Structure 1
Amino acid sequence: MGDILVGACSWTDRQLVASGWYPRGRRDPEGRLRHYATRLPVVEVDSTYYALPSRRNSELWVERTPDGFRFDVKAFSLLTGHPTRQQALPADLRNRPVDGALLDEVWGRFAEAVEPLRRAGRLGAVLFQFPPRFAPGAVAERALEDCARRTAGWPLAVEFRHPAWWAAERAEDTRALLSSLGAAAVGVDMAQGLTGSLPRVVPVTRPAPAVVRFHGRSGAWGRGSKEDRFRHDYDVTELAAWVPRLRRAARQTEELHVLFNNCCADAAVRAAETMRGLLTRPCR
């Protein structure tokens, strides 16, 4: 069975910092990360979606974490086709048309920034979360092929938001496509019965890593404020129901990342620590 690493989708979220989870004296940038790494073995860097990361930050993250710790890095919004504010780009790239030359430059800077993590063995996965309008079809498949080409040698993970990708009649084709591209399919837990709900599956498509993201079960998914969309406290029954599924997935991969994205106050880190406890109990 592969290792199962459980963590949260941020260690810098303002509500988490204000929640009291970090002890006194450990609430500065260095102290937060060092403390987090003593409690959980993997974290997702979500700030890289909102702005291009810097190489220097990656170097600092390596210095502040132990061997074996993993960072899953979320791809910059422009690289996944999301609307991107000019202010999110470096100053010298602003006010340029979004064309092939700009995309090439952004891809290059993103790769340069995450290289210290990859070189140090800290890079767990690079997460490409595509928008809800990214529906199955020839255009999407070409975009995925381009993404796989540009990320050759990276631990690529792909999360779809359009539910058609994992509809029963298409799921096997989606699995085969991602497998052929060397990409990990990201499984999700979210509220069911909504227009954009995805099924609770863990489709393992590459040896490592496999990724499952827990978004919470708010009925406000896809609308409202961030707090409305992600406000959910997982109870132990909800988490325990996932344990057999996660263990089955871990038997198919070398490393499974389980990440909690219900980032309201300390809900995500508490759920992660509870899930770690459940997964360490002996199998019945």
Structure 2
Amino acid sequence: MIEIGLTGWGDHASLYPADIKSYEKLQTYSSFFPTVEIDSAFYAVQPVKNYEKWVKETPARFSFVVKAYQGMTGHTRGDIPFSSDEEMYLLYKESIKPLEVANKLKMVLFQYPPWFDCNRENVDLLRCTKERMGDIPVALEFRHESWFHPSFKDRTLDFMKEEGWIHSICDEPQSGAGSIPTVLEPTHTDHTLVRFHGRNVHGWQKKGNPNWRDVRYLYRYNEEELLEWKDNLLKLEKPGHEVTALFNNNSGGDAADNARRMVELLGIEYEGLAPRQLDLF
């Protein structure tokens, strides 16, 4: 099974009527796609009530990929707003319980920063993180090329398989140490995650640009590139193995259009989505 979605539901003008209210967007989004990434969980541990609300607003077959809080991946500079790492993980896991109870938690995504390179200390940290998350499905995305350097690539993949990490395969610009190559190899028996960051090589690195977040994901995949990835997704798909593909190239509003086109190219008709308003007449 291949499930296509986006990294968030708030800012996709091509999906929504101009007069839509913000609280109506998730339900409308879930009439197009069966899954979505919750990016807000990276910036703060979300209140339980938020997850309860999102569960109610989506159909039974809908699922969420939730980003790990930034303090859990080493993105925070300085102290974390918790008494300990143990408290941070405990509160995070408690916050996502409504998704687990509703069977709508697909996985938690641990996306590590560009300075998280391949060394013994970080390997041990990944082991500790996996242990702390228990039975919750967890995906692993690197941003430092050393993990897939020819001298470490096979050992990195073997480690992920042994520890039970879901591989977050990336399509992103190749611009030095702060990016990783596309490695089309699943590491988990049940799941593979694919994230499309675009190919804006000139905007990928910060390099003093105050608006770098706005330009980093400014990219629209062309038909040839989408067809290339159609083949890749079909290669990753195996019986009993679910592939989740999320488009993150939305600085210019391109993610939704690219994702909908990918659904068309794959010939998928998702069942159990929320009804679209236009379909009622």
Q: TM-score, normalised by structure 2?
A: 0.88
CA displacement at 1:26 relative to structure 2: 3.4
Structure 1 partner of 2:205: 222
Structure 2 partner of 1:68: 61
Partner SS for 2:243: strand
The 1:187–1:252 alpha-carbon spacing in structure 2 relative to 1, beyond 3 Å, is: farther
The 1:172–1:187 alpha-carbon spacing in structure 2 relative to 1, beyond 3 Å, is: same
Structure 1 partner of 2:266: 279
Choose which of 4, 7, 29 in structure 2 pairs with 1:9. 7
1:69-148 alignment, distance < 5 Å: 69-84=62-77, 89=81, 93=82, 101-148=83-130
The 1:85–1:21 alpha-carbon spacing in structure 2 relative to 1, beyond 3 Å, is: farther
Choose which of 215, 224, 242 in structure 1 pairs with 2:229. 242
Q: Note if contact 1:210-1:253 (Cα within 8 Å) is conserved in structure 2.
A: no
Q: Any stretches of 5+ residues in structure 1 without a counterpart?
A: 94-100
CA displacement at 1:221 relative to structure 2: 0.7
Render the CA deviation track for 1:184-220: whole Å, top value 9, x for unaligned: 1110001124442311222201122210100011121
Q: How many residues align?
A: 263
Answer yes or no: is 1:163 the counterpart of 2:145: yes
**2: CA distance between counterparts of 1:143 and 1:272?**
34
**2: CA distance between counterparts of 1:236 and 1:188?**
18
Q: Note if contact 1:117-1:123 (Cα within 8 Å) is conserved in structure 2.
A: yes
**1: CA distance between counterparts of 2:90 and 2:205?**
31
Q: TM-score, normalised by structure 1?
A: 0.87
Q: Which runs of 4+ in 1 moved over 4 A?
A: none
Answer yes or no: is 1:154 the counterpart of 2:136: yes
CA displacement at 1:112 relative to structure 2: 0.5
Give the residue type in structure 2 aligned to 1:70: S
Answer yes or no: is 1:23 the counterpart of 2:21: no
Give the residue type in structure 1 aligned to 2:178: G
**1: CA distance between counterparts of 2:78 and 2:221?**
33
Q: Note if contact 1:189-1:215 (Cα within 8 Å) is conserved in structure 2.
A: yes
**1: CA distance between counterparts of 2:34 and 2:130?**
27
Q: Note if contact 1:186-1:203 (Cα within 8 Å) is conserved in structure 2.
A: no
**2: CA distance between counterparts of 1:278 and 1:171?**
31
Q: Any stretches of 5+ residues in structure 2 without a counterpart?
A: 269-281
Deviation larger for 105-114 or 197-206:
197-206
Partner SS for 1:144: helix
CA displacement at 1:84 relative to structure 2: 5.0
Q: Note if contact 1:204-1:252 (Cα within 8 Å) is conserved in structure 2.
A: no
CA displacement at 1:103 relative to structure 2: 1.4
The 1:193–1:76 alpha-carbon spacing in structure 2 relative to 1, beyond 3 Å, is: closer
Q: Note if contact 1:188-1:213 (Cα within 8 Å) is conserved in structure 2.
A: yes
CA displacement at 1:167 relative to structure 2: 2.0
The 1:85–1:35 alpha-carbon spacing in structure 2 relative to 1, beyond 3 Å, is: farther
